[in-house]
Amino acid sequence: MSLLTQSIVQNHLLERLPVSEQNELLQHCEKVKLTFGEELCLPDQPYQYLYFPLDGFVSLVTKVAGHTPLEIGLIGNEGMLGVTLVLDIDTVPIQAVVQGNGMAWRIEAKALQQVLKNCPQLRRCLQQYLFVLLQQLALNAGCAHFHLLEQRLARWLLMSQDRAHSEQLQLTHQFLAQMLGVRRSGVTVAASVMQRQQLISYTRGEIKILNRAALLTQSCQCYQLSLNSYNAALGDLKPTPAEEVAPAP
């Protein structure tokens, strides 16, 4: 029996591994709590730990001088923070910040490099996930450039909900603004529209998703496209079955 069954929420990448590799890997892992705002990976530094999120999740952000950080990727239990280690390069390419409190498996970079030698399936899996990440970076770049704040906010809430495994999110408008690369008050306006439409509700840093289906139609297609690209590369694990594409008008 796998050590994984200790946790209710599992990491999808680990789930895909044969039990032998799971155990080999988890031997070197410890369960840690990710806390909001923590900077897990500093760019251009060597990796120290890598993370397989469970119900915590992490943003990849790019910092442009003179601007708030912009989110370009989101990593939850469908993925892993630090995949680029499969390239046998131990430098962090992109900064990562914890975005949702929760648990994750953590492993030392050096340990993972060792484990990779004996675990071909793990290597394969990380290669595939890196591929997906590339596609998502491209997708997000386009989304951030063209789509309206309200659509992007909707998408972002959906993606966070998927990764938090809860309809309750701890997020201030300030933080959302930073992730989306816009003003705080811009988010307030967009969010209050959504609140009036009963899509969400919030008070002081607690956002609750009330009507997920409606949020889906408000969000840009990038939400669905992002899921599709993941599923195409890493097979369907159907996290939220039968949520069909709702093309925007």
Residues engaged in binding a second copy (CB under 8 A): 43-44, 60, 62-67, 70, 72, 84, 86-89, 91, 93-94, 124, 127-128, 130-131, 133-135, 137-147, 181, 221-222, 232-233
Q: What is the largest CA-CA distance in the chain?
A: 54
Residue 182 in tokens? 């816009």
Residues between 73 and 132 with contacts to DNA, criterion CB under 7 A: none
CB of 205 to a second copy, least distance (A): 25
Q: Minimum Å distance from CB 184 to DNA?
A: 6
* 75 or 222: CB nearest a second copy: 222
Q: Which does 115 bind (CB under 5 to 8 A by kind): a second copy, DNA, none?
A: none
- Decide which of DNA, a second copy, none touches 113; Cβ closer than 5 to 8 Å per partner kind: none
Measured distance CA(83)–CA(50) in Å, rounded? 8
Neighbours of 230 (CB within 10 A): 22
Residues 78 and 204: their CA atoms lie apart, in Å, by: 29
75 binds, among DNA, a second copy, none (CB under 5 to 8 A by kind): none
Amino acid at 109: A
CB of 188 to DNA, least distance (A): 4
Structure tokens at 164: 């938090």
Distance between CA atoms of 110 and 107, rounded to whole angstroms?
8
186 binds, among a second copy, DNA, none (CB under 5 to 8 A by kind): DNA
Cα(64)–Cα(119) distance, integer angstroms: 38
| C-alpha span between 181 and 175 (Å, rounded) | 10
For 49, phi and psi rounded to 5 degrees? -120, 155
Q: Site map for DNA, 150-189, x if CB under 7 A?
A: x---------------------xxx------xxxxxx-xx
Encoded tokens for 4 = 């994984």
- Residue 74 CA, chain-centre distance (Å), reads 3
Q: Does 192 bind DNA (CB under 7 A)?
A: yes
CA 181 to chain centre: 17
Of 19 and 148, which CB lies nearer to DNA in the complex structure? 148
Nearer to DNA, 67 or 124 (CB): 67
191 binds DNA (CB under 7 A): yes
Which of 101, 113, 166, 195 binds DNA (CB under 7 A)? It is: 195
Task: Return the sign of the alpha-carbon dihedral for residues 219, 157, 78, 86.
Answer: positive
Residues forming contacts to DNA in the complex (CB under 7 A) are: 67, 148-150, 172-174, 181-186, 188-189, 191-192, 195, 202-205
